[in-house]
Amino acid sequence: MDFITENNALVFKRQGETVRIESWGKDSLRFRATMLKDFTGRCNALTEKVEACKANISVFDVEYTNGDGTKEKRTHAKIVSGRISAEVNFAGVISIYRDDSLILREYFRSYDGTISRESRCLKIVGREWKGVQGSDNFKFKLRFDPNPGESIFGMGQYQQQDMNLKGCTLELAQRNSQISVPFAVSSLGYGMLWNNPGVGQVTFGNNMTIWDMFSIKEMDYWVTVADTPKEILANYTNATGHAGAFPEDLMGLWQCKLRYRTQDEVLSIARKYKELGIHIDQIVIDFFHWTYQGDWKFDTKYWPDPKAMVDELHEMGIKVIVSVWPSVDRKSENFYPMYEKGLLIRTDRGSIETYDYQGDCVEIDTFNPETRQYLWDVCKKNYYDYGIDGFWLDNSEPDYAVYDFDNYRYCDGSALEISNLYPQYYSRAFYDNMVKQGVESPVNLLRCAWAGSQKYGNVVWSGDVPSTFEAFEDQLQCGINMGLAGIPWWTTDIGGFMTDDVSDPDFKQLLVRWYQFAVYTAVFRLHGDRGPYNIPPLDTRDWGGGYLHTGQDNEMWSYGEDVFAIMKKYYDIRMELKPYIKSLYDEASKNGSPLLRVMFYEFPDDKECYELKDQYMFGDRYLVAPILHLNEFEREVYLPKGSWKLTSTGETFEGGKRVKVKAPIEYMPVFEKQ
């Protein structure tokens, strides 16, 4: 096997495979491999111009002892870029080091310096390629040896209780409430980006780690090392992009429900908030304000003068955001023009339908730049030109009727190969064009994202989650791991999305606890589908803005005086925090730090903090301990070393231990670092 040096890259070829390892930013290496003649040249998430770092590359011989006791020399190679290095042995097996300590090694059974007989018998290799019949793509597995005691975080959003992902299998695919952002942060001081948007799965097993892809042309991953998670995130966002400046006038309350059905209803809600002296920063107009899916326009029967509505809201200092779905009903005026132009997703077999909620729909192909421009042109005419400030890009996974990824195809390739990038391209249909319109910091709301989405003005929310304490507990680790995956603008539906009975006292308790938590997150947004569904439709038509159901009221005053009093109290807290929140947004733009931070992010030397999943830091100052269980009115909190003030009473505690504090319904425990 021959090793080749190309600028800052180490290249070798073996058994038809070409592998390239190169310096890619501070203390970082990029690893690529292919069985084809050339690499694709795709950057995927690694879009930024990174700091040029000189790599030192050496080729040398290592003496091995054969099974019969004889010795022979085998050629190895090593590439060093700052604090990270990778060594390749005679069999093409890669080992990765941080300051000369092993952090990742491809699965290989030769620990004692001998040429392993075990690996010959098992016939399991670190990089496994199997051709996909009839194409130039491959099924691919990358295996790493395990690291005992390692903890792994990040990777996006998965609806589960496990914050530490060691021992978990994660699907690398986008679904409603599941967001694959494949950047992992290790307790061993490294971060790894799986720079491939294909569908697959990863298992962080105790016996090995396996990245298992169903259809790819090349392996592509990136590893960075640093002393702290904060420095790891800084290296990562330098390579994939930084979040923009978040507008100060969106740091307060966003008002939303399923669904405001008329122009008058939106204005009546805004006017009442104004009468109560409560300023809302933004009001959200949800789905089926339109005629058909894919028309992307107001139903004029219920929205007769959108510009006048927007003008009045703007006079009150309220911005307006409207829901846009990527689904196009066959009855839509845009269906056949888009279908004929090839702007919709294609199916490899069966019906062309990809989505079936309230219509026979095909979703748009966001990989196609013509699609993105067509969508923007329609939405500019029907929304933006009326003064609409932003777009709620719902169903942005996209939300397929059936998640048969092997059946869907985009202009750039099959869904199996690239589908996880879909939400990012969807957001760019609006972000890129709003920038062209002169918007300094576009902010749009999405239900999905991928690595690098942070730089396209994406506020990402956690999807249509149930209104239960169990789901609430899931959201805490979802937000923490999204932040560690580089997505700082993350939020939830306060109270969860799916509620059966708004009058249920247990739900009201959940709503209050969720609302208290939301004050200490990036975006403070009141939303949900509130049952029961006993409100009659406005219209007998089976289409348009009047026919679909709506949920119960979901404003601050909708749940009784006691709930309103608590909400108002916490609304005031949010307003008082705005200068501090602005500083956190500024930090996110600068170095990638999330607003909602896992405990070890601020206390990386405290081993206890790596085990905590029911409390977090809001920035570097506030330790937040949400109430995650029904009828829980006190809880235990771990305080790292230092002095901490309980904000409810002013009582001071010395850290380095656990304390138990009261948590009446009126208060969620929050400690301020002194």
CA-CA distance, 142 to 129, in Å (whole number)?
A: 9
Do the beta carbons of residue 295 and residue 334 sit within 8 Å? yes
Mean pLDDT of 397-408: 98
Active site residue 281: no
What's the number of CA atoms in the CB half-sphere (13 Å) around residue 394?
18
> What percentage of the chain carries pLDDT values higher than 70?
98
Averaged pLDDT, 437-463: 98
Provide the pLDDT for residue 110: 52
Q: Which amino acid is at 120?
A: R
Active-site residue, from 22, 27, 220, 394: 394
Which one-letter amino acid corresponds to residue 315? E
Beta strands in 8-146 (DSSP E): 9-14, 17-23, 28-34, 56-65, 71-81, 84-88, 94-98, 101-105, 127-131, 138-144
Residues of the chain with CATH 3.20.20.80: 248-596
* Residues with Cβ within 8 Å of residue 68, at least 6 apart in sequence: none
Burial of residue 251 (CB within 10 Å: 0-12, 13-18, 19+) is buried
Q: How confident is the model at residue 69 (pLDDT cuts 50, 70, 90)?
A: confident
Domain with CATH 2.60.40.1760 in the chain: 3-240
How far is Cα 142 from Cα 567, in angstroms, rounded to an integer? 49
Written as one string, the DSSP assignment of 224-285 is EE-SSHHHHHHHHHHHH----PPPGGGSSEEE--TT--SHHHHHHHHHHHHHTT---SEEEE
Q: Which amino acid is at 403?
A: Y
Average pLDDT over residues 436-444: 97
Mean pLDDT across the chain: 96
- What is the DSSP code string of 574-626? HHHHHHHHHHHHHHHHHH---SEE-HHHH-TT-GGGGG--S-EEETTTEEE--
**Cα 236 → chain centroid:** 14
Q: The domain 598-673: what is its CATH number? A: 2.60.40.1180
Position 103 scores a pLDDT of 98
**115-130 burial: b if 16+ Cβ within 10 Å, else e:** ebeebeeeeebbbbbe
- Beta-bridged to residue 23, according to DSSP, are 29
Active site residue 394: yes
Percent of the chain beyond pLDDT 90? 95
pLDDT digits (tens, 9 = 90+) for 194-228: 999 999 999 999 999 999 999 999 999 999 999 99
User: Residues 365-401, buried b or exposed e (16+ Cβ, 10 A)?
Assistant: bbbbeebbebbbebbbebbbebbbbbbbbbbbbbbbe
Residue 113: pLDDT band (50, 70, 90) is: very low
Interatomic CA distance for residues 666 and 176, integer angstroms: 32
Return d(Cα 469, Cα 513) in angstroms, integer.
Answer: 9
Judge whether residue 115 has pLDDT over 60. no
How do residues 451-461 score in pLDDT, each as one tens digit? 999 999 999 99
Which of the following is catalytic: 27, 329, 397, 417?
Answer: 397
Check residue 118 and give its pLDDT.
45
Residue-level pLDDT at 123:
78
Residue 13 has what DSSP assignment?
E
- State yes or no: pLDDT of 544 exceeds 80: yes
pLDDT digits (tens, 9 = 90+) for 515-539: 999 999 999 999 999 999 999 999 9
Asked if residue 366 lies in contact with residue 396, where contact means CB atoms within 8 angstroms, the answer is no
* Superfamily in which the 3-240 domain is placed by CATH: glycosyl hydrolase (family 31) (2.60.40.1760)
Distance CA 513, CA 669 (A): 11
Q: In the prediction, which pLDDT does 629 show? A: 98
Residue span(s) of the chain under CATH 2.60.40.1180 come to 598-673
Phi then psi for residue 210, to 5 deg, are -130, 120
Residue of 201, 182, 200 lying closest to 192 (CA atoms): 182
Using 50, 70 and 90 to split pLDDT, how confident is the model at 120? Answer: low
Of 61-75, 153-167, 386-400, the poorest mean pLDDT is in: 61-75
Over residues 598-645, the pLDDT tens digits come to 999 999 999 999 999 999 999 999 999 999 999 999 999 999 999 999
Return the higher-pLDDT residue of 1 and 147.
147
Q: Is 464 a catalytic residue?
A: yes
- Which pLDDT does position 674 carry in this prediction? 98
Q: What is the distance, to the nearest Å, from the Cα of residue 53 to the centroid of all Cα atoms in its chain?
A: 29
Tell me what pLDDT residue 112 has: 43
Instruction: Spell out a b/e string for 560-594, using b for 16 or more CB atoms within 10 Å of the CB, else e.
Output: eeebbebbeebbeebbebeeebeebbebbbebbbb
What does residue 332 show for φ and ψ, rounded to 5 degrees?
A: -70, 150
CATH class for the region spanning 248-596: alpha beta
Residue of 27, 87, 464, 529 with catalytic role: 464
172 bridge partner residues: 200
Residue 14 has pLDDT above 80, yes or no: yes
